[in-house]
Structure 1
């Protein structure tokens, strides 16, 4: 089955240890991970930020005053998925260490997770929706060669 078309903008804010995050996120891999999670063609911007920017965005748009791992801003779900995915590098790195995952594996999971959100998947609307989204993530990640991120 052919993958959907993706127009990708990959951006890195200036922050300490940005080189480590750039190394974990080669453009071709980011595009591959996102394309495997797409049901439609898409235009997606991925921005890797520091804790300060991540916290400000989470506070301003979700009214939660802390930096979170991934924020999804979806603007259109059809005919082309249009979204921004913002990942907070220090949070992603901390979670990867705590979960004993590689930085790349955790980024792959969060990019798949954010891409599903951009298409209307939501794990906060009930247990059934959460289970369905988690199962879809596990299926996509397995196809990409990653282990179950929830195990």
Structure 2
């Protein structure tokens, strides 16, 4: 079993995480909270993200139907996607907060991608939480130079959690296909 190290960091005490489950089929709230805290702890331990003390980040565990509507309304793409990030503040400011933003995940798409990629569901979900969080802080991957920076940071964060590089081309090992 792939172990997630708690040494990679923990969610800062001055950051509030609001977790909402809007759809059936997700793991328990306790399991999602544990995965979210591991992912976010690793992000804040590895990346140099500046935010106002007392800031809030929202994670919404939803489904393809809701995410498709959001993707259509906010991005002009009438299809579901795995994760959407909605920054809460001015990305150009020197510090983010107090509302860092919302990260919305689509269960069916996350599950399908994990199965298709032979990746453990938990590992893929952690990756998407990391990915979504970086978007809240202005990281992007629309142009190659920005993608290299964002993907490199994601890879470092995930490596600290014992999760393989999601951007490599070779198939995962047997250990990487097990749950966290």
SS in structure 1 opposite 2:60? strand
Q: 1:146 aligns with which of 163, 166, 172?
A: 163
After superposing the two structures, state which structure 1 stretch, 26-35 or 104-113, moved more.
26-35
Tell me, yes or no, if structure 1 residue 8 matches structure 2 residue 17.
yes
> Aligned Cα RMSD in Å?
2.1
8 A contact 1:6–1:31 mirrored in 2: no
**How many Å separate the matches in 2 of 1:85 and 1:79?**
15
Greater share of strand: 1
8 A contact 1:51–1:88 mirrored in 2: yes
**How many Å separate the matches in 2 of 1:26 and 1:49?**
12
Q: Stretches of 4+ moved more than 6 A in 1?
A: none
8 A contact 1:6–1:35 mirrored in 2: no
Q: What 5-or-longer segments of structure 2 have no aligned partner?
A: 1-7, 169-180
Map of 1:136 onto structure 2: 153
Q: 1:24 to 1:103 in 2, by over 3 A?
A: farther
| Greater relative contact order (Cα < 8 A, sep 6+) | 2
Tell me which structure has the larger Cα radius of gyration: 2
The size of the alignment, in residue pairs, is: 147
Under a length normalisation based on structure 1, what TM-score does the superposition of the two structures give? 0.88
Under a length normalisation based on structure 2, what TM-score does the superposition of the two structures give? 0.74
Q: 1:146 to 1:13 in 2, by over 3 A?
A: same
Q: 1:6 to 1:28 in 2, by over 3 A?
A: farther
